[in-house]
Amino acid sequence: MQHVKQFLRLSAEDRQTLLQAAVSLLLIQLGLRCLSLGQVQQVVSRVLWRSTSAPPARRVAWAIDSAARRVRGSTCLARALAGQVLLAHYGYNARLRIGVRKSNGAHALQAHAWVTCDGETLIGGPEVTHYTTLLNSELGF
């Protein structure tokens, strides 16, 4: 009930952005199980509804992070894809980046996905500087 009250206290624009973020995350998580990365991006971009104005890029990132806390199993890849699709939907130049780094003291690699917009990391956290970028992809509609 607390979450519902918090949701209703948000502005109409924030509620819409948060709903789009949650729908995007759910579709991406389902899609990644049986579709390619490009197919998932296309499907999700077609489902998003239009709005009259674009929220600030940081509010989109906030919506993705907020929705991911409530959508079970939200991985960094799902968050990054949802962020990229939603930001591109609103006209931002969002870039999906996927990188790897060596695990501490091990011979295994760790992978991470994040989103940058105008040179700033919006989704994925400050630790992205420790990763070597393997994919740097822009999505255009």
- Which residue range forms the structural domain that includes residue 110? 2-138
Could you give the CA distance from residue 89 to residue 56 in angstroms, rounded to a whole number?
A: 12
Q: How many CB atoms lie within 10 A of CB 106?
A: 8
Which distant-in-sequence residues (6+ apart) come within 8 Å of 67 by Cβ?
18, 21, 22, 24, 25, 74, 82
Q: Which residues contact 121 (CB under 8 A, 6 or more apart)?
A: 114, 115, 128
What is the value of pTM for the model shown? 0.85
Per the structure, how many domains does the chain have? 1
Beta strands of 35-118 (E only): which ranges? 94-102, 109-117
70-99: pLDDT as tens digits: 888 899 999 999 999 899 888 899 999 999
Residues of the chain with pLDDT under 50: 141
The pLDDT value given to residue 37 = 81
Measured torsion, CA atoms of residues 66, 81, 84, 95, in degrees rounded to the nearest 10: 130
The 109-117 sheet, strands edge to edge: 120-123, 109-117, 94-102, 132-138
pLDDT at 115: 96
pLDDT, residue 141, reads 46
The residues with which 100 forms a beta bridge, in sequence order, are 111, 132
Looking at residue 103, its pLDDT comes to 80
Nearest CA to 17 out of 45, 47, 52, 55 is that of 55
